[in-house]
Amino acid sequence: MTIAQPTAVSTVPANPPTMPDIVELRAIEKYFGTNRVIPSLSLRIRQGEFLTLLGPSGCGKTTLLRIIAGFENPTHGQVLLDGDDITALPPFRRNVNTVFQNYALFPHLSVRENVAFGLKQKGIDKATVAREVEQVLAMVRMESFVDRKPKELSGGQQQRIALARAIVNRPKVLLLDEPLAALDLKLRKQMQIELKNLHQQLGITFVFVTHDQEEALTMSDRIAVMNRGVIEQLDAPQTVYDHPASQFVADFIGENNTLSGTVEGGQFHYGSTRIPVAEAPKQQGAALLFIRPEHVIINRQRPADAFSLPAQVVGRTFLGNQWKIHCNLTGSDTPIDIAVKPDAINALDGYTDVFLNWPVGKATLALQ
Amino acid sequence: MMYTQSVDKDLTADAPDRAEVSLGKSFRRVNGLDIAIGGAALAVMTFIYFPMLVVVLYSFNPDTVNSFPMRGFSTKWYGTMLDNEPLLHSLRISLVIAVVATTLALVIGVLAALAMKKYEFRLKRFFERVILLPITLPGILTGVAMLSFFPLIGVRISLTAVAIGHTTFLICIVLTQVYARLKRLDPFLEEAAADLGATPVQAFFKVILPNIRTAIIGAALLSITLSLDEIPVTFFLIARDNTLPIEIYTMLRRGITPEVNAVSTLIFLISLLTLVLSVRFGERETKPI
Amino acid sequence: MKRLPASFWLLFAPLVLWMTAFLILPYVRVLTQSFYTVDDFGLLQPGFSLDSYSRFFSGPLYYGTLWKTFTLSATVTLCCLLLSIPLAYYIAFKATRNKTLLYTLIILPLWVSYIVRAYAWKIILGEEGVLNSLLMYVGLTDAPISVLLYSDVSVVICMVHIYTPFVLMPIYTAFEQIPKALVEASKDLGANRFTTFRKVVFPLSLPGIIAGATFAFVLSLGDFLAPILLGGPNTLFISNIFQNMFGTSNDKPLGSAIGIILLVIVLVVLEMSARAEKRFSSLESGR
């Protein structure tokens, strides 16, 4: 897998934190039978933002989305939409719309009828419905397919219709449940860009569920990384990548090396090595240090002016745009991976005993 | 079980496999084994269809005796049939019972299928098997059981009892067919409808029903056919008025009357028509247009 | 276990009520009635007596007929299998064109009235029937063969004819579900077609064959019409005795006991077959 470089259009959230919250989840708790899938979760989603719920399967992200949509009722807690408590409202009375994972297009209805479904439910007059449907189909560039049935469309086309069917209702929040998972890689990339553009055009709040970290980094204003029903970190993509808040986040997004040590006197102690960190913590105690493979520097000689960790090179793997050097730290055998540009690999031939370090600001400290 | 399979068109939708078969065939030379299998297949087909062909053919026999060779061609037995008032009366009774029983079975069966699709309950797997029993158990047992019990709850042995008896096993036909279709339906369609503002009732009529419509029509056709043909249960629950197959049965017990050939031919043609209709309905949904 | 909501019961209650009133309770009635007795006037006397069951197992007429029913049903089943396997094999593996048509042709008889098909054999096998007059016409016999109709043979022929489609269907389905690659792999590994059938096709389609055989056997066990219409004076199935007990013989307790015995046999056969199907199924099935 290629390493995920943060490629988000902007690292600054599109909407400053002063924007009002469109959705507020208060102490949501969800049980399936005796199985607690969400322990107690609170989340504020800002008006107009693109928020991604990211996590492995079974982390509760889809359940959370379904609670907002109204398909699941939380065992405890409240759901607020634009300030109103909608916890008890059935899905058909909520002003939110969903793009389903497998699109759930109505097979017996044409593209036009599918898209018009929600508007007709609201009792809007025919002429308006026709106009709105036409507009939204133009927006997703599907205007020439109005009379087709869903099964006569390709996956990507079905995807656009599912999108059109939801946004034509101008929901306060658009919920997207892994909508790109069924598409092949190339189409997925293209749809990511289109979705992002659509988001900017419409100004509707998007809540997007995915297990694909790259997708999350590419599209989101903010990412909520979920694990076992808990949001481990909620931040802008760049922050999540550069400063993971926990071991889970560090490992789940991109690739990561972890050192386990202690914090004393504002420094991270790994064995006898003292490693300086950017923001010196006041606390003492056990801690983890996360460092991305592309930030680790290999030195042949022990650097005189900085810290370093002695290690042995045990192997290398070619990945196309980079080489991965596999090392074990001397003494502890902790594995460390280092990403190296292909043109720099020859300089490393014959290295076995090396010294590793990194720029101080690139490592992230997590107290335990 | 058997009836569910009989209209499950999945079996015939095998276009991809067919290409492989014909590919294999081009490498094969015709030999004795192939001829033997082909011959056996043809013989079995003949065995299955020969009796029905005989009936159709001899319905045009001018003679009273069904002997070979036929001495001429005549439609007089069709005329005799049309003059047979008890026979026509029994046909009308059969049609009424088939329609009543099928309607009741559709209502009860479709509702129950929806319940089984929508909700999880503990005995569901067990129930999926048990519900097949009324069509798997010998009809004679069910008939006698109903005969022994119905009078105790005030259902007299009558056409009402027959209609109730038919409904009971037709429910299972409808339930299994519609449930099978519901299980194949995209589970998120209902949620998508709700998401777009449809109440559960609206979602059923606008989204679920149109998508199970062909299964319901298929089940209805099958139910009507089965009801029109049913003997074992009817046999025990009938009082004065006979249904069509029971009327034919009594005619047969009295001796061979050639007009039965004519009736049978008509029944055969009607069965053929219903099957063709049900295949049509079955194919429309599996074949991409 | 969470409680089911009211909407579930709204949908499901009609089924439960209907089946309880018109199916389960009737069968319960047969069970209780089998423990009753009849007095000298032929009236039912409620009670708990095993009299009917002991009469069944001490009367050779009853258990003898049960045994005969078994053997005849087994014969029917075997014939159905022998007819079904080659035809199913042909349609599944040999027919390249008109496969849908052929399949429709084998399920069509299921839609044709039982009475019509039984009647057809009556006019074919009768003394002045189509077959005899044909044989005499071509000069194979001088006098009509009378054993054709009103004998065990005619009953078996008719039942085989009526139940073969029930056997064909699951066997054909089983053949169809065998990936063609497996058959090719077998040939690729040097097996000839007979060995391929014996070692690959047959074992993989065993669940379908068992299902088909079960249909034929259970349906024959409960058939009382073919013996009435086509059987001779000695062609008696257990279901005919059963039926008589509620008619001319008017011995409802004994009849009920026979019914319960028949029910238990059928249920045992169905359960055994379900287990066998499960045990022998090596292909991932769709359901």
Q: Which residue of A has its CA nearest to B190?
A: A104
- How far apart (Å, rounded) are the C-alpha atoms in residues C48 and C39? 14
pLDDT attached to residue A167: 94
Contact residues, chain A, for B208 at CB < 8 Å: none
Q: How far off is chain B from C96, nearest CA to CA, in Å?
A: 6
Q: What is the pLDDT of residues B94-132, one digit of tens each?
A: 999 999 999 999 999 999 999 998 888 888 888 887 888
B168/C23 touch (CB, cutoff 8 Å), yes or no? yes
From the list B195, B207, B288, the residue facing A97 with the nearest CB is B195
A306: confidence class by pLDDT, cuts 50, 70, 90:
confident
Q: Which CATH class is domain B79-286?
A: mainly alpha
Summarize the confidence of residues C209-234 as an average pLDDT.
91
pLDDT score of B17 more than 50? no
Torsion angle of C-alpha atoms B232, B235, B237, B243, degrees rounded to 10: 110
From the list B191, B198, B211, the residue facing A71 with the nearest CB is B191
CA proximity to A234, closest of A4, A10, A13, A6: A13
pLDDT attached to residue C96: 75
Q: How far off is chain B from A353, nearest CA to CA, in Å?
A: 58
Contact residues, chain B, for A149 at CB < 8 Å: 289
Summarize the confidence of residues A352-357 as an average pLDDT.
90
Q: Which residue of C has its CA nearest to B135?
A: C219
pLDDT attached to residue A149: 94
Looking at per-residue confidence, does A17 or C173 come out higher? C173
pLDDT attached to residue A12: 46
Q: At what angle do helices C238-245 and C60-89 cross, to 10 degrees?
A: 130
Contact residues, chain B, for C219 at CB < 8 Å: 138
Could you please report the per-residue DSSP string of C88-132? HHIIIII--SSHHHHHHHHHGGGGS-HHHHHHHHHHHHSTTSHHH
pLDDT attached to residue B5: 38
- How far apart (Å, rounded) are the C-alpha atoms in residues B25 and A143? 46
pLDDT score of B286 more than 70? no
From the list C18, C94, C107, the residue facing B108 with the nearest CB is C18
Looking at per-residue confidence, does B10 or B151 come out higher? B151
For C64, list phi and psi in degrees, rounded to 5: -65, -45
Looking at per-residue confidence, does C111 or B52 come out higher? B52
Total CB pairs under 8 A between chain A and B: 70
Chains near C (3 or more Cβ pairs under 8 Å): B
Q: Chain B residues within 8 A (CB-CB) of chain A?
A: 186, 188-189, 191-199, 202-203, 206-207, 210-211, 288-289
Summarize the confidence of residues A213-220 as an average pLDDT.
93
Q: Are B230 and B139 in contact (CB under 8 A)?
A: yes
Q: What is the pLDDT of residues A4-28, one digit of tens each?
A: 444 434 444 455 555 679 999 999 9
B171: confidence class by pLDDT, cuts 50, 70, 90:
very high
Could you please report the per-residue DSSP string of A224-251? EEEETTEEEEEE-HHHHHHS-SSHHHHH
Please state the separation of Cα C48 from the chain's center in Å. 33
Summarize the confidence of residues B212-235 as an average pLDDT.
92
Q: Is the peptide bond before A281 cis (omega within 30 degrees of 0)?
A: no
Q: Are B161 and B199 in contact (CB under 8 A)?
A: no
- How far apart (Å, rounded) are the C-alpha atoms in residues A160 and C267? 53
- Lowest mean pLDDT across A83-97, A124-138, B97-111, B260-274: B260-274
C113/B264 touch (CB, cutoff 8 Å), yes or no? yes
From the list B194, B196, B211, the residue facing A90 with the nearest CB is B194
DSSP state, residue C54: H
**In terms of C-beta distances under 8 Å and separation of at least 24 residues, what long-range contacts does C123-128 make, across chains too?**
C123/B54, C123/B55, C123/B58, C123/B66, C123/B256, C123/B261, C124/B50, C124/B51, C124/B54, C125/C149, C125/C154, C125/C157, C125/C230, C126/B66, C126/B256, C128/B65, C128/B66, C128/B67
- How far apart (Å, rounded) are the C-alpha atoms in residues B37 and B41? 6
B191/A121 touch (CB, cutoff 8 Å), yes or no? no
Looking at per-residue confidence, does A57 or B30 come out higher? A57
Q: Are A334 and A314 in contact (CB under 8 A)?
A: no
From the list A96, A97, A104, the residue facing B189 with the nearest CB is A104
Residues whose CB is less than 8 angstroms from the CB of residue A89 and which lie 6 or more positions away in sequence, other chains included: A70
Full set of structural domains in chain A with CATH: 21-248 (3.40.50.300), 257-367 (2.40.50.140)
Q: Which residue of A has its CA nearest to B194?
A: A92
Q: Write the CATH number of the domain with boundaries C71-280.
A: 1.10.3720.10
pLDDT attached to residue C284: 58
Q: Which of B120, B189, B196 to mutate to test the interface with A (most CBs of A within 10 A)?
A: B196
Residues whose CB is less than 8 angstroms from the CB of residue A343 and which lie 6 or more positions away in sequence, other chains included: none
Q: Are A309 and A355 in contact (CB under 8 A)?
A: yes
Q: Which residue of B has its CA nearest to C9?
A: B115
Q: How far off is chain B from A175, nearest CA to CA, in Å?
A: 10
pLDDT attached to residue B239: 85
Q: Does C57 touch chain B (CB under 8 A)?
A: no
Could you please report the per-residue DSSP string of A122-191? TT--HHHHHHHHHHHHHHTT-GGGTT--GGGS-HHHHHHHHHHHHHTT--SEEEEESTTTTS-HHHHHHH
pLDDT attached to residue C157: 94
Question: What are the residue boundaries of the structural domains of chain B, listed by start?
Answer: 79-286
Q: Which residue of B has its CA nearest to C252?
A: B148
Contact residues, chain A, for B196 at CB < 8 Å: 92, 97, 117-118, 121, 165, 169
Token pair of A285 as six digits: 């105690």
Of all residues in chain C, the percent with pLDDT exceeding 70 is 98
Token pair of B186 as six digits: 């995209």
CA proximity to B106, closest of B217, B203, B7: B217
Q: What is the pLDDT of residues C27-66, one digit of tens each?
A: 999 999 999 988 877 788 888 989 899 999 998 889 999 9
Q: Are C23 and B149 in contact (CB under 8 A)?
A: no
Question: What are the residue boundaries of the structural domains of chain C, listed by start?
Answer: 71-280
Q: Which of residues 152-211 of C touch B (CB under 8 A)?
A: 161, 164-166, 169-170, 172-173, 176, 180-181, 183-184, 193-194, 211
- How far apart (Å, rounded) are the C-alpha atoms in residues C283 and C286? 9
Please state the separation of Cα A292 from the chain's center in Å. 18
pLDDT attached to residue B30: 59
Average per-residue pLDDT for chain C = 87
Summarize the confidence of residues A121-134 as an average pLDDT.
94
Average per-residue pLDDT for chain A = 89
Token pair of B115 as six digits: 């319940």
Average per-residue pLDDT for chain B = 83
Q: Which of residues 21-80 of B touch C (CB under 8 A)?
A: 21-22, 24-25, 33-34, 37-38, 40-41, 44-45, 47-52, 54-55, 58, 65-69
CA proximity to C229, closest of B246, B100, B187, A289: B246
Residues whose CB is less than 8 angstroms from the CB of residue C248 and which lie 6 or more positions away in sequence, other chains included: none
pLDDT score of B13 more than 90? no
- How far apart (Å, rounded) are the C-alpha atoms in residues C119 and B59? 13
Q: Which residue of C has its CA nearest to B48?
A: C161
DSSP state, residue B12: G
B282: confidence class by pLDDT, cuts 50, 70, 90:
low
Contact residues, chain C, for B136 at CB < 8 Å: 218, 266, 270
Contact residues, chain B, for A98 at CB < 8 Å: 191-192, 195
pLDDT attached to residue B29: 54
C262/B138 touch (CB, cutoff 8 Å), yes or no? yes
pLDDT score of C128 more than 80? no
